[in-house]
Structure 1
Amino acid sequence: MRNFDHFLTPEEEETLVAFRHDLHRHPELSGEEEWTARQVADFIGARSPDKVLTGLGGHGVAAIYEGAEPGPTLLVRSELDALPIQELSGLDYSSEIEGKAHLCGHDGHTTTLAALSYGLERERPARGRVVLMFQPAEETGAGSAAVITDPRYDEIRPDMSISLHNMPGIPIGHATLAPGIVTCASRGMEVRLTGKTAHASQPETGTSPMAALSTLMPALSALGGGDIKGAHFSMVTVTHASMGEPAYGVAPGAGRLMATLRTKSDGEMAALVAEAEAMVADAAKAAGLTFTISYDDVFDHTENHPEAVQLLEQALDGRGVTHDPGDLPFRGSEDFGRFGQGSKGAMFFLGAGENRPHVHNPDYVFPDELISIGSGVFMRAIRNYLGSAATGDRV
């Protein structure tokens, strides 16, 4: 039996584990989280929130628990979406949907937030309000922007925002937390090159993208530099390249190149984009090609505010969870950053075990015991920030 935090009964523990496993069996991709959102809204709705908003920025769900007195708003955020990867975990509750799986742990994050509804139902904050924000489309970087630009977001606009992400490679139950930038800005760049198709016996009568692709792949990969721990860092990773059709009789007349551009901060991204785009234009011109460039999966950097970090540090200490700055900042990206741009935000990373497959791997498994640790930290942060309706005190 897992040892859940004090505000949960053994029966609630079992309900939460079953809830996560059910979410895990039925993953939905970014922008498609209709069933998942409905399960969340039903689960939270049964635990007496003062208001539930659905359909935020797509399929987002926000549950509001009001305090006894006026005060600030604390938003606690998790994610709803899964990944387009075939699961190979061997779990008895593995994904039942071909080619889709919760291999980033968002089902665990969502359940961690759902656990808070038990404590908040029994004991509202003394002041202000808590918003449990279940965000859609985190994996594409589009979800937080859609939620924040939804007109109903004004109803829940927070003063402080907190979140967590499980992190394999860190001892289980140990946390990584620090002020400042914690995850990078990134965006997916897609280049389409257009020339002229020709018969393979007469390639000189066409215009092939081969030379441009051959130039761009190493040249783009060589862009950037710096140290992630230093003041400046940027990199480009080529993720896909193709040209023409899989046929022997045709010289290609079109090509496609995909790359991820990454910088430590949003401010550095514009310079990297300009450099990459100029490189594409030069290569296309030299080969006699036309081109288009488009972007997807656009993430802002995530930067932890010192006051929000202090709130989480006190909560971690109060729950006896060890923590340190670890290897922050990480090269990866996270869609929590935009919540922190309009409020004092911070995210911590909760260790999922040192010898465990990493997130986005087909055999990754989220540890159920993190639900206890994460919800305990969040509940302590809520009480420290807003007090307890029962006593009016912080804990």
Structure 2
Amino acid sequence: MSLTRLAVDRAAEGRPVRVGLIGAGKFGSMFLSQVPTITGLEVTCIADLDVARARTACAAVGWDADRTRGTAFVEDGAALAARDDVDVVIEATGNPRAGIAHALAAIEAGKHVVMVNVEADVLAGPALARRARSAGVVYSMAYGDQPALVAEMVDWARSAGFNVAAAGKGTKYLPAYHAVTPDDVWRHYGLTPEQAAAGGMNPQMFNSFLDGTKSAIEMAAIANATGLGVPEDGLSFPPCGVDDLAHVLRPRELGGQLGTAPGGTGAVEVVSSLERDGRPVFRDLRWGVFVVIEAPNDYAAACFAQYGLPTDATGRYAAMYKPFHLIGLELSVSVLSAALRGEATGAAEAFRAGAVAVAKRDLRVGDRLDGEGGYTVWGRLAPASAATDATLPLPIGLAHKVEVVRDVPAGQALTFADVRTEEDAVVALHREALQIDGT
């Protein structure tokens, strides 16, 4: 039965799906804008460190006074998770440590979790998903964000009997972007600092999209949810439009540019909407997602051509794609799927990849790291590998407000041994997640 029908039936029974939202930023606001038009779904509580901002967000997305009055507003996400009038908790803070704490509180309280916070998912997703299964609740990626959309496309392809050669998303990328800091981010978006400030835009957050960190985080989440491999040398961001996906993202031995992943599996990748000289790619996929599939036989390959799929020269590799994603406007799909079907729209199964912190500049003893999108480090996709404490890569999600204890040259990935960290609950959960290999 469709989610719409299930939700309508719940409304008719007087049992709508009750949602608690933690974090009323852009993603959360986009979700809130859709709530009045979704039968069978209600937001009963919103948690935000700035309650006044959360109320303003509700007004800005068109909520009327009655709906706002009927919703509780709190500062504490853990308190929201414990409420009796919440069935599904949406974690949308963007803070990995807060996200993990909120997810644990929700799972302990017997609530489903929709994890918008990909930063938290890449740090500890496999461990959180395992805890949720043990508690009989759902831990899910957020539909509308690229990781869940790509996971859906990969599942579709495999369910239809295709081998997945590659899957991922598009973005605006040039190699020089890895060194960009919040001081010069806006010129790459065609904005002045004054225009960005007037729009309430956070330079460090926007820079995390530009410098490659978000791409690394999202591709790690996809790899951990689907079993797709990660190229040993990380993302290569090849310039590529939608018509050339199957040609560019086929194996290198066939003339493509797809990096080799351990175990011979298909791989995640991100394609750039810019040629390396800065020219725009023809029919780029900057806002979309894709999957490149391989025909299992000659008959299927012939069908690719007969039904108009863009293929490579052999005809055996073809691409499917969605040109856009609507982020929080689509989030209710995850909420309803968790509550009404008991199914996740993608979830981490094992720790296959992470986003490791790489020095943007020469780092010296005593420097303090400032996390994703900042001045000191950017996140690079890396496959999981066996490591000692001395060589264990430092995830970008833990590279915030920690002190460097030995010099690290620009371009080098940091390890736990390079910084002063405390062995707290989040670090312990990350280490637990590292041990989950899906076997």
TM-score (normalizing by structure 1): 0.24
Which protein is richer in helix relative to its size? 2
TM-score (normalizing by structure 2): 0.22
Structure possessing the higher radius of gyration over alpha carbons:
1
Structure having greater relative contact order (Cα 8 Å, sep ≥ 6)? 1
